[in-house]
């Protein structure tokens, strides 16, 4: 029987890339980091804050997210939004996810190529 640690490692690897896709989808509507964390968790993406915040900075550095500070509330918050380039990358990633899912389904069903 496979250990829980081995399974957890593989699940973590599988989800790592999907968090990028989920974040780009979710941030089509501007939001700040903590709210995004909660939204992702509500949709089954349990992401640690220590993972999400560096990811948001990396996506912003890559030009896939834009950000602006909201200083109107008592505590300033940085709001993120998927950029036009982020939308283009997201569409390519979604296309690839669909292709991977189709390929895996074909393998499961024994389809010949």
* 40: CATH: 1.10.10.10
Residue 113 lies in a domain: no
Give 11-69 as a 3 state SS string. Answer: HHHHHHHHHHHHHHHHCCCCEEHHHHHHHHHHCCCCCCHHHHHHHHHHHHHCCCEEEEE
Q: What does residue 35 show for φ and ψ, rounded to 5 degrees?
A: -65, -35
Residue 33 lies in a domain: yes
- Per DSSP, what are the bridge partners of residue 67? 80
Q: Report the mean per-residue pLDDT for the chain.
A: 93
pLDDT, residue 35, reads 96
Strands 77-82 and 65-70: antiparallel
What is the number of structural domains in the chain? 1
Given a cut of 90, is residue 16 above it in pLDDT? no
Confidence class for position 6, pLDDT limits 50, 70, 90: very high
Residue 30 lies in a domain: yes
Residue 81 lies in a domain: yes
């Amino acid at each position: 029987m496979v250990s829980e640690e081995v399974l957890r490692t593989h699940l973590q690897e599988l989800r790592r890339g999907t968090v990028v896709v989920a974040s780009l989808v979710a941030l089509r509507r501007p939001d700040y980091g903590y709210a995004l964390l909660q939204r992702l968790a509500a949709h089954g993406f349990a992401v640690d804050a220590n993972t999400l915040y560096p990811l948001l900075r990396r996506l912003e550095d890559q030009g896939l997210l834009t950000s602006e500070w909201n200083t109107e509330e008592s505590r300033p918050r940085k709001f993120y939004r998927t950029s036009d380039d982020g939308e283009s990358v997201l569409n390519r990633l979604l296309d690839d996810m669909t292709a991977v899912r189709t390929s895996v389904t074909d393998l499961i069903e024994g389809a010949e190529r």
